[in-house]
Structure 1
């Protein structure tokens, strides 16, 4: 891949934009070898229509814009990549409107005030995200990151002569992951089976999960996508809602069985310990429940001085 080829463009956003917390979220979940957060910049290896490259995203020093640079052959697809990157970094959100709505709730008002520009970080690929979600079941974020790194080395592809050592690996394709030898990789056999079953379903086209955008789909089609994903072994409601939030951009998705979210709600009202009762309480957050989840996760992460939730 040549570093001579490079194209830059800017993506405007409505202020405020909490770039620091967006980077913190991505950094805590970055796939080793594929993604890296360095000097205030998000960087990852990409492939678009068969062309390889590197995506770099940083906040403009003065303007309300993100600066995007595409290096390598993929730079020839900058125009097509722009909306994809815009979605991934949630630049089209209206933080004032979202904040006004959520701040009507006494629980959320102080959280919105503390992080008024909080965004809903997306994903480069829904497949990558669901792989991480499966790998991360019942383990910590740190442990999931270690396992994902092993998967990349086992089933991914190293990029020759890559200019950025921290992003010199291509994430495994669905077909590659489906056929990889994952013995002794550190995951229970049932989870490995679920992971490779998902990969086979995506590779065959039986369960399409990429190129889905909630705002561009009828409600029935989005419901069908949820049902198809949920029907796969090893995929539960939490995973489906998490994918809907971050990859499919359903801003009202809410992983109601998430342990951190449930604990956060119960701490505010001890009578609400079960998910059904909590779902009733959170109805007033609609149609922005995904942002409410981000605020609750962010509160815990702020207190812990690191990454918790999501």
Structure 2
């Protein structure tokens, strides 16, 4: 947490950059808000600051009806940090507490439930149950505002164990009944059966570069772009879903068609990770903008994001497929895997017909449309996930995942770094041997020597992933052969180095 004075100044200036980082609670009203809330400025002695909405709720405050503090971009802390608290937050967003309980969350992180509870209260001001409760309340509000589902269905879709628990939570958090929350909704638009959300982000946001990245590597049957809308199928915890993402002013419109509404929260979290909506572009620009080499690139594209993934396992598979082949060839091969080994959608939509193959289906595959060495790498990758030797979940320990990836046959530093960068959201991954990065650096006057590039990248810690994205984008804009990937997957002529 920043100091009280820093927090209070952010509220005094209505600084929206702090929305999602901190929450202000006012003892005289019993309400908590985002820092940019236009309500009257509270006195210092009545102000309390919290790191999470859950912590404010645990302290007895209810959410402001005017600024909706639960509907802000998530804190970039949970993307930047690799500690247990950040990993726990990512798992809570993915619905682990609802599916596996606090014991399951603790086991995934290697702690006892009691120890994990103490750690999270110390770091975040709230334990696992309170964090999950805040997430359920947010999901319930979205369902109440955007769907005509019966109240009972909303309760169970949001993850509540009973209607009574649901009603009590909504009254406590929003000071309203579920019916009153629904009636007060100001967002009324046709949904055609989808759940429509607005996913906010911190401006600036370079929408064009993210959408070019997505459109440049569409996998047939899995993804498509329809005008400004990116659409794809994805397998979630309780069923399949189709995600539709359309950029707006200050938010991305997200339409979700879910087989099971219990997947709403995890689906929204995956969309945020895919588009990197919780990033802090001002902070990144402040750090990397001072660098003499990267500074001009950063100032030219202040809202550049690092596109992520809806499924780290899918990212790893596509990275293996992309070794030593072009982006278009990698997408073609991935499309063959999708139609051969993935589950078909019960209700195909447009060109979307399948989800991505599961680890179980690829681990047992005997023939894949790629060379034998790469087939061996891919089946070993899938088998490692199935056995549990390789954790690619949102709460994965990044160092352990990197070591497990590099231990696989035919999978070296480039692929491991790429999976960390795209799949696991590591802000400090840097695939320095990538051809696109190397050519961009040569254009900037850097010697094309691995040791020189590695030494140079050290000064960009802990934001080397952003540095890589700026270099890829710079190479693409310059039309460098092999540099147009804008993300590393399948950079042509790249050589991984076949590990034994």
**TM value normalised by structure 2:** 0.56
**The one of 365, 372, 376 aligned to 1:189:** 372
Q: Does residue 202 of the first structure (1) align with residue 385 of the second (2)?
A: yes
Shift of 1:7: 0.8
Which structure is richer in relative contact order (CA contacts within 8 A, separation 6 or more)? 1
Where does residue 141 of structure 1 map in the other structure?
327
> Can you list the C-alpha shifts for 1:103-159, whole angstroms capped at 9, x where unaligned?
212222221222221101001111111111111110111111111111112211222
Distance change in 2, residues 1:80/1:268 (3 Å) = closer
Could you tell me which of 394, 397, 417 is aligned with 1:211? Answer: 394
Deviations 1:184-224 (A, max 9, x none): x2x211111111111111122221212236xxxxxxx4222
Q: 2:243, 2:257 within 8 Å by CA — same for their partners in 1?
A: yes
Q: What is the deviation of 1:82? A: 2.3
Residue of 101, 104, 110 corresponding to 2:290:
104
User: In 2, Cα distance between the equivalents of 1:37 and 1:74?
Assistant: 24
Where 1:159 maps in the other structure, the secondary structure is strand
SS of 2:255's partner is strand
Aligned residue number for residue 354 of structure 2: 169
After superposing the two structures, state which structure 1 stretch, 277-286 or 232-241, moved more: 277-286
Q: What is the rounded CA distance, in whole Å, between the counterparts of 2:260 and 2:251 in structure 1?
A: 22
SS of residue in 2 equivalent to 1:70: strand
Contact 1:53–1:75 (Cα < 8 Å) also in 2:
no
Structure 2, unpaired ranges of 5+: 1-190, 489-500
Equivalent pairs counted in the alignment come to 295
Structure having the higher Rg: 2
Distance across 2 between alignment mates of 1:76 and 1:149: 28
Provide the rounded CA distance (Å) in 2 between the counterparts of 1:150 and 1:210: 25
| Alpha-carbon distance in structure 2 between the residues aligned to 1:149 and 1:79 | 28
CA deviation profile, 1:210-261 (whole Å, cap 9, x unmatched): 2236xxxxxxx42222101110111110111111111111111111111111
Question: What's the secondary structure of 2:351's corresponding residue?
Answer: helix
Of 274-283 and 140-149, more deviation after overlay is shown by: 274-283
Is 1:240 equivalent to 2:416 in the alignment? yes
Which one of the candidate residues 215, 218, 223 is aligned to 2:399? 223
What CA RMSD, in Å, does the superposition of the two structures yield over aligned residues?
1.9
Partner SS for 1:121: coil
- Counterpart among 120, 123, 126 of residue 306 in structure 2: 120
The separation in 1 between residues aligned to 2:304 and 2:260, in whole angstroms, is 30
CA distance in 2, matches of 1:68, 1:161: 19
Q: 1:5 to 1:49 in 2, by over 3 A?
A: farther
Partner of 1:39: 227
- Report if the CA contact (8 A) 2:201-2:278 is conserved: yes
Question: CA-to-partner distance for each residue in 1:50-91, whole Å, 9 max, x for gaps?
Answer: 22221111112xx31111111132444223332232122111
SS in structure 1 of the partner of residue 306 of structure 2: coil
* Gap regions ≥5 residues in structure 1: 214-220
1:276 aligns with 2:451: yes
Asked if 1 retains the 8 angstrom alpha-carbon contact of 2:359 and 2:386, the reply is yes
SS of the residue 1:182 aligns to: coil
Cα distance, 1:178 vs structure 2? 1.7
Structure 1 stretch 70-79 or stretch 246-255: which is displaced more?
70-79
Q: How far apart are residue 4 of structure 1 and its match?
A: 5.9
Correspondence 1:303 to 2:478: yes
TM-fit CA distance, 1:94:
1.1
Q: TM-score, normalised by structure 1?
A: 0.89
Task: Please give the per-residue CA displacement for 1:17-60, whole angstroms capped at 9, x wherever unaligned.
Answer: 11111011111122221111221112111222222221111112
CA contact 1:47–1:74 (8 Å) conserved in 2: no
Q: Determine the C-alpha separation between the residues in 2 that align with 1:178 and 1:203.
A: 8
Q: Is the 8 A contact 2:440 2:474 kept in 1?
A: no
User: Is the partner of 1:168 in helix, strand or coil?
Assistant: strand
